[in-house]
Structure 1
Amino acid sequence: MYRLTFSLLFFFTAFFTLSAQEWVQQYPFPLLSQLEAIAIDPSGVAWAVGDKSGVLHSDDFGSMWSILEPPASDPVFRDVLILPGSGGTQALIAGTNLHLTTDNGQTWTSTGFDEIYDFGGLQAIDAQTFLAFAKKGMARTQDGGNTWEELPYPGGVSFGYPPHGFFISESEGWMVEFALNSRVFHTTDGGATWTQAGTQTFTFARGIYFFDNQHGLIADNGYLYESMDGGVTWTALNAAQFPSPRGLWVADDEFWILPDENGSIHYTEDAGATWQYVYPLEYSPAYKAVTSLSTGDFWIAGSFTTILRTNDFANFTEQIPGIKSFLTSIDFLDDQKGLAVSAVGNVVRTSDGGAIWENISPADFVSNQTPLAQIYIESEDVVWLSTFKGQMYFSSDFGDSWQTLGAVGDVVSDFRFQKTGPQEFFAIEFNGHFYHSTDGAASWTLVEDLDGIFTDIFFHTPQDGWLAGYDGQLLHTTDGGQSWETVQPGSDPLEDFGLIRFVDDQTGWAIPRLGDHIYGTDDGGQSWTLVNMPVGTFWQDLDFADAQHFWLCGGASGSGIALQSVDGGENWTITLGDAPQMLAAVSCPVSDEVAWVAGGAGQIVKWVVCSGDTPVFNGIEGPSAPCLGDTVQYTVAATAVDIFEWEFPSAWFLLGNENTAQVSVIVGEQQGDVI
């Protein structure tokens, strides 16, 4: 595999050989992080941090975000603080330790402690005094972060997670546990001693704020509580339970915001008397952080590196580009041409192996949030597409336009099809309706109403086919679905199956919906061999390049995994184990040297093997003399390249994903030569 670097400072190219084989994140963004905190300075400098050692930086109110080299390989950075009066160039990040930059993230100074570690919230008391809350204590600096003192919690108290804290002065503050049955503590001596404030506990507190020494707020699981007596007693402000608040932001005395895990944002403009909520996006990131300026502009950050900007909570700008809806299916014709679809009507396309992914989503698909389920590329131009509700579509121009075909009727929640001839299709509904079409999916005939719940279909020929489903439903037909035989690969007659695939009429695989094993056959399903897997999960898709090379993917909410076999399925290796969301689809069209997986958060990841081919590019296309402030595109035509890096003059701003053959930039004041 090769990395190709382009520089428009005084254009040059360089090649770097990477590892022989690895996964490359192609879409929608190189970093898919659960953002935990966001901060912005009135100058426009902004910071956001999260898991996967994620550190993002912007100089223009978030119009363009850059991924910075992190100060350490922390599993998660929980908070970021812009130092007062620094114009945003100086920032403090909380992770396992504390990390300070005074030059916009170019260099970092890290502070470690013997007893106190694993930091959470940060707070500035004044221009020189900052606080950091950790599991075993609090850290305090009074010289702008140059030196720190440890303040262990009295009596050796420690918490499973860093508590939330808030001080109204150098001496007086409160903290609440980030744990089940959260307790509230109070100090009046700067954290030297703490006493429990009252006896009330909270389900799982998510944030704390005090206006003065009497009036405070605590965000809990489902409710926002208010205290008017210094935290001794608390009253819920909302009658109806919020879904899953994950933070608290107080913009002023009356405007308060609760970002939610389910993709909603609750807010009040009258100090909790009334509440409103919005779902800004078609997908549902877990929002955890909010920041704002006195101008009335707000930024909300969450999972999948989602950052939104709004000034009215009715119109939102997504500042990290790319479709992040759940991709349900991906298919490649060869190592260049591919398509992927989402559960809410999105369609993306590539003609260069994923160097550029183009959003070609039909407007009606997106407006109706059409639940696209399965895509099949038949040839250079011909593509077939289905929805979970059994509606079929056809394209004769590789997705530029779509023709509506037949629908099968009432569908519970899932529909899978397979093309077996020039005009012939078979399909199965989740509820057991088995269909046949002989006119190119224009119309469907119900062949049989099978008893059970079915998840997959595979026909090797128009006569020889298989169905997989729950409660031991692994069915085989040799007469085009007129009759079915139940097959039991393992010892459990009620095992739930999720996938069935055959390489030819003899070699196939039956994949349990959830488990740490699969079944293989080499005699057409007469006998089966159990193969233990290195991990158990919810398996979602299997594809093969030939009888020896297989890919299997799956996962659960918050994690995705991909496995490879190079010996006909006898042994499997985890090649991708840390995808941020479930991987729902895999495509390996030509060989074991290239494959794609897709799934939650809109992620498309490519497996590439260094072939030894010399990278070739045909020069950069784009304006050679762009004007200051213009947003322009540069494109390079390249082969045998899997990672793209672009360099521009420092005053230019790169928009979005850098790892692509086509980028957009905002032209800055400094000049560059394009050669």
Structure 2
Amino acid sequence: MCSFKKCVLLALYATLALLQGVAQAASYVDVLELPAQPSTLAQHSPLLDVTRAGERLVTVGQRGHILYSDDAGEHWQQAAVPVSSDLNAVHFPTTEQGWAVGNDGVILHSRDAGATWTKQLDGREIGALLVKHYGALASAEPANEQWPLFAAEGRRLLDEGPDKPFLDVWFADDQLGYVVGVFNLILATRDGGQSWTPLQDRTDNPQGFHLNAIASTGDALYIVGEHGLLLRWDDLLERFTSVPTPYQGSFFGLIGAPGELLVYGLRGHVFRSADAGANWTALDTGLQVSVTAATLDATGEYRLFTQAGHMLLGEEGSMHLQMVPQQSQSPVAGVSLAGDSSLVLVGTRGVRVLPVE
């Protein structure tokens, strides 16, 4: 049920659990009620995503840690966060307004470029949200057999508790946004997160595959997931429609520009399409390790990173990816452009600033 990025950290968490399990059993505190604790080691702890809020960098990770930097990643400050749930993704559609999501169905919101955060939703509320939404549709359309099924899914979430993580978040602006997660969990907001609407009925994902990432290429909004799943938002149909792909393994992310889409994932697989998924070209990475993060650098070239920390370079429109030698490397879960000549990488070893020539 975990995302790939989370699974990378399981060994670390298992060790911590063995060391801390007895104490936690004696004095359990719900992570949804416990604010993230200040730590001088937060910058070096496992982090899972990083993005920009204007010129500021914001990164999120384990135990509710959110850090921000105003000097291209050289120094970091820890944000005030109301939960200790592990956080998986962060996105800022504007300089000031941003959202972060994570385990336990957490959705957090910042109005001050990531310095402080408030909780908008957590997993204790999601089941009831589905029951109310799809129950109302079932009452309005009793002949429609899908509504009771989605309402039953909501009741199952209520019974199982707040254990379902959100894996990614994307906002078009400070009002319209989406969060996606395990087992086809997807919510949308049109009022900046004041209210959320389930969209399980608006995805071509009948098997309920995990939704690993959501992003825009500038001309289309896409979701990638398990078993080669690729979905594209259709304005006319008002749903995420299926786009066939040539791979049946998991995709962990996507990146692109108008007229170009790259999807990447398990075992070094990267595919490119120049026609919104009608045709695909496999890009040879020469690797068998998973591609886990990507960005466009200041020159418009793609920089892709792997579970083992490899960096691959590909020009926009190119059919080839070139390995870039590094003096040292470590697992990469997220990457962001920090300036004209550097990238910020985050992963199991925290933050690393990488000069780019």
TM-score scaled by structure 2?
0.66
Partner of 2:26: none
Q: Are 2:94 and 1:102 aligned?
A: no
Q: Are 2:235 and 1:224 aligned?
A: no
1:526-605 aligned within 5 A:
none
Partner of 2:177: 130
Partner of 1:11: none
Shift of 1:294: 6.8
Aligned residues between the structures: 279
Taking a change above 3 Å as real, the CA distance of residues 192 and 42 of structure 1, as seen in their structure-2 partners, is closer
1:200 maps to which of 232, 238, 246: 246
Shift of 1:189: 3.0
Q: Are 2:222 and 1:174 aligned?
A: yes
2:332 maps to which of 278, 287, 295: 287
Shift of 1:98: 0.8
Partner of 1:82: 92
Taking a change above 3 Å as real, the CA distance of residues 146 and 160 of structure 1, as seen in their structure-2 partners, is same
Q: Are 2:57 and 1:57 aligned?
A: no
2:121 maps to which of 88, 111, 126: 111
Partner of 2:77: 66
Q: Which runs of 5+ in 1 are unaligned?
A: 1-20, 313-675
What does the per-residue CA deviation read over 1:203-256, in whole Å, with 9 as the maximum and x for residues that have no partner?
2212123433x5311113313211123213321122633633112223478411
Partner of 2:53: 41
Partner of 1:211: 257
Of structures 1 and 2, the larger Rg is shown by 1
The answer (yes or no) to whether the contact 2:72–2:339 under 8 Å persists in 1 is no
1:269 maps to which of 308, 315, 320: 315
In the alignment, the residues of structure 1 paired with residue 244 and residue 88 of structure 2 have an alpha-carbon distance, to the nearest angstrom, of 28
Q: Which runs of 5+ in 2 are unaligned?
A: 1-21, 24-38, 131-153, 155-163
In the alignment, the residues of structure 2 paired with residue 49 and residue 190 of structure 1 have an alpha-carbon distance, to the nearest angstrom, of 35
- Aligned partner of 1:141: which letter? T
Taking a change above 3 Å as real, the CA distance of residues 140 and 293 of structure 1, as seen in their structure-2 partners, is farther
What does the per-residue CA deviation read over 1:489-515, in whole Å, with 9 as the maximum and x for residues that have no partner?
xxxxxxxxxxxxxxxxxxxxxxxxxxx
The answer (yes or no) to whether the contact 1:167–1:174 under 8 Å persists in 2 is yes
Partner of 2:212: 163
Partner of 1:152: 200
Which structure is higher in helix share?
2
Shift of 1:64: 1.2
In the alignment, the residues of structure 2 paired with residue 245 and residue 29 of structure 1 have an alpha-carbon distance, to the nearest angstrom, of 27
Partner of 2:41: 29
SS at match of 1:52: helix
The answer (yes or no) to whether the contact 1:151–1:192 under 8 Å persists in 2 is no
SS at match of 1:209: strand
Shift of 1:84: 0.7
Shift of 1:92: 1.0
Partner of 1:185: 231
The answer (yes or no) to whether the contact 2:218–2:257 under 8 Å persists in 1 is no
The answer (yes or no) to whether the contact 2:47–2:62 under 8 Å persists in 1 is yes
Q: Percent of pairs identical after alignment?
A: 17
In the alignment, the residues of structure 1 paired with residue 248 and residue 204 of structure 2 have an alpha-carbon distance, to the nearest angstrom, of 22
The answer (yes or no) to whether the contact 1:198–1:233 under 8 Å persists in 2 is no
- Aligned partner of 1:307: which letter? R
In the alignment, the residues of structure 2 paired with residue 274 and residue 293 of structure 1 have an alpha-carbon distance, to the nearest angstrom, of 25
1:4-19 aligned within 5 A:
none
Taking a change above 3 Å as real, the CA distance of residues 173 and 191 of structure 1, as seen in their structure-2 partners, is farther
Q: Are 2:353 and 1:308 aligned?
A: yes
In the alignment, the residues of structure 1 paired with residue 185 and residue 310 of structure 2 have an alpha-carbon distance, to the nearest angstrom, of 33
The answer (yes or no) to whether the contact 1:37–1:289 under 8 Å persists in 2 is yes
1:283-362 aligned within 5 A:
284-292=329-337, 295-312=340-357
In the alignment, the residues of structure 1 paired with residue 208 and residue 246 of structure 2 have an alpha-carbon distance, to the nearest angstrom, of 18
Shift of 1:199: 5.5
- Aligned partner of 1:125: which letter? A
User: What is the CA RMSD across the aligned residues, in angstroms?
Assistant: 3.4
Shift of 1:32: 4.6
The answer (yes or no) to whether the contact 2:49–2:90 under 8 Å persists in 1 is yes
Shift of 1:49: 0.9
In the alignment, the residues of structure 2 paired with residue 31 and residue 296 of structure 1 have an alpha-carbon distance, to the nearest angstrom, of 21
1:227-246 aligned within 5 A:
227-238=273-284, 240-241=286-287, 243-246=289-292
SS at match of 2:58: strand
In the alignment, the residues of structure 2 paired with residue 199 and residue 266 of structure 1 have an alpha-carbon distance, to the nearest angstrom, of 22
Which structure is higher in strand share?
1
Shift of 1:169: 6.9
What does the per-residue CA deviation read over 1:616-651, in whole Å, with 9 as the maximum and x for residues that have no partner?
xxxxxxxxxxxxxxxxxxxxxxxxxxxxxxxxxxxx
Q: Which has the higher contact order (CA 8 A, sep 6+)?
A: 2
- Aligned partner of 1:166: which letter? A
In the alignment, the residues of structure 2 paired with residue 66 and residue 272 of structure 1 have an alpha-carbon distance, to the nearest angstrom, of 38
Taking a change above 3 Å as real, the CA distance of residues 229 and 273 of structure 1, as seen in their structure-2 partners, is closer
In the alignment, the residues of structure 2 paired with residue 291 and residue 281 of structure 1 have an alpha-carbon distance, to the nearest angstrom, of 20
Partner of 2:99: 92
1:431-442 aligned within 5 A:
none
